[in-house]
Chains A and B, each alone.
Chain A
Amino acid sequence: MSPFSNGLPGIMEDAGLILGLVVSLMIGSYIVRDSILARLGQYVLVGAGLGYTAVLVWRNVLWPRLFAPLLADPMSWQSAGETGFLNLWLPFVLGVLMWGGGLELLRRPPERLGGRRLLRLLAAVPAAILGGVVMGVAVSGAVQGTLWPQLNAAVAAADGQAGAGQARWLVRFLTLLITGGVLIHLQFGPNAGGSENGSPTPGSLASERKEAADEGRPRLYRVLFLTLLRVWEGIGRRALWLAAGIVFARLVAVRFALVLSRLDYFLFEIPRSDLWQLIWASLRGAGS
């Protein structure tokens, strides 16, 4: 238990310790098999998580940012000019539409025109606004934060991190080669040069090559170009595999750290607690 719940009576602390241990053991029992205990633990966890999130959103977001200012000054849309209207009333209306329409969408569709149908129609408005903002930030963010700076960095001269003994141009070339190869791999896939069953995927390099061959003209430059692309793709694919291996090793470090942390909890944190010491002492006393 953390110091943040220290103000509660001692029995609550003990109960919290036991509850945490029990929930952990129940969920952990999934290792053996998916039993009723494991599912019980999951349901308790999900129920608590949903409740906690609901309180958090209400107390931390909706109440202080929206409902409290609205209740404090319901006429803000008049008195504060556009600010109150744009920042409080409009999002309030949109949110209510989202709630109303969303709850309505969970029910069976209505058979006749009416209020329910209208609610369903209006629910599209906040969804569309949210969708538009998400699309806008995704596109502009991808361009400003990733596409442009990373393209710049890929093309720009390598800095001094390569090490004194290495030829800088070679490293720069390698970096560019691999980045380009990965992009070609993502575009054409590993069957760029030809597929196993002999039928190239439409749009792949293999199909391009087949088309060139079907035309019956010796298009050497085209075949050379496609071969070059195939080799380039192969380099990118191998770099991806190597990266995948390294990522896997890093994943091992993460997951093992999580397992160790839980084992540490069971083997060291719980036995060090006052409650456990008390139980242990009483057991030893009864035994002797």
Chain B
Amino acid sequence: MFSSRSGWLNRIVLLIVLVNAGIVVSSRLGLALAPPEAATTLYGWALLLGGFAIILGIANAVRFHLVRVQRGQREWLLSLLLLIVFALVVGAGISSPEGTTGLLSEWVFDAVLAPGQATLFALTGVFLLSAAYHFLRIGRPGGVWITAGALLMLLVQTPFLYEIVPESLVDLVDWLLTWPVMAAMRGILLGGALAVLFISLRLIVNNAK
């Protein structure tokens, strides 16, 4: 996370990280090492710093495209268009006292953002078919189990298939979902939670070294 070459600076940064993490953990686990308000204050800071970070990220992206336009790099015209659209949308939002609930911003949302984002993600549905064609094969590792699970679920969740499959099969899928699959997912959740613990520990120990 931080440079390992400047010891004192690394230690200060690590100390800040640990103190903040310690305040939060002690507050959450009721260890009373720090007043509960301290953690609440930190959450409030995180909220505001999150806002600052987003603006910084946007500034970075704008700068990236500005440089591209300045240097006439590949697709600089598209970058210029991006910057123009960005400026127009910001202008529309700032000029209205209501901000993003103003008429112009709502118009931008309806005219560009909603249809654009929806279409971009709908593309993945089409590509899914090619993925299924290539990778949902019985001969692959675990292919029988994966294909069986997929077909069983499709039988139950697809309207025309659901109408023709026997009730016992529907009950079987519900049972699978409620018990074995839930148990497997619980294992994944537990593994993920343990991983979070160990990653945190690893970051701390690595930086301390």
Contacts and interface: CB of A to CB of B under 8 A. Distances in A.
Q: Do chains A and B touch in the complex (CB under 8 A)?
A: yes
B99 A60 contact: yes
Given A47-B85, A139-B25, A27 B200 contact: no
A252 B38 CA distance: 45
Interface string A1-30: 110110110001001110111011001101
Closest 3 A/B residue pairs (Cβ): A245-B149, A182-B187, A132-B20
A220 B151 CA distance: 42
Nearest to A175: B183
A262 B191 contact: no
Category for how many chain A residues contact B: 35 or more
Nearest to A130: B49
Contacts of B112: 19-20, 23, 44-45, 48
A139 B145 CA distance: 34
B111 to A, nearest CB: 4
Interface of B: 1-2, 9, 13-14, 16-25, 28-29, 39, 41-56, 58-63, 75, 78-79, 81-90, 92-94, 99-101, 103-126, 128, 132, 136, 141-142, 145-154, 157, 171, 175-194, 196-197, 200, 203
A46 B82 contact: yes
B126 A265 contact: no
Interface stretch (A94-102, A199-207, A222-230): A94-102
Contacts of B75: 39
Given A99-B56, A146-B189, 14 more contacts: A20-B111, A21-B115, A23-B112, A42-B120, A44-B85, A55-B92, A62-B48, A94-B45, A95-B48, A174-B179, A175-B180, A239-B187, A240-B184, A252-B132
A180 B46 contact: no
B175 A178 contact: no
Interface in A187-229: 190
B207 to A, nearest CB: 10
B117 A45 contact: yes
A143 B197 contact: yes
Interface in A107-142: 121, 124-126, 128-142
A169 interface: no
Contacts of B196: 138-139, 142
Interface in A135-182: 135-144, 146-147, 150-151, 153-154, 161-163, 171, 174-182
A248 B149 contact: yes
Interface of A is mostly: helix
B192 A146 contact: yes
Nearest to B95: A55
Contact of B56 (A60, A102, A153, A182): A102
Interface of B is mostly: helix
Contacts, number: 413
A242 B124 contact: no
Given A45-B112, A241-B149, A246-B181, A62 B55 contact: yes
A15 B111 CA distance: 8
B49 A259 contact: no
B188 A182 contact: yes
Interface string A249-273: 1111101111101100100000000
Contacts of B61: 46, 50
A43 B81 contact: yes
A167 B177 CA distance: 18
A27 B180 contact: no
A186 interface: yes
B46 A139 contact: no
Nearest to A13: B107
A250 B157 contact: yes
Contacts of B113: 45, 48-49, 52
A20 B110 contact: yes
A30 B99 contact: no
Contacts of A71: none
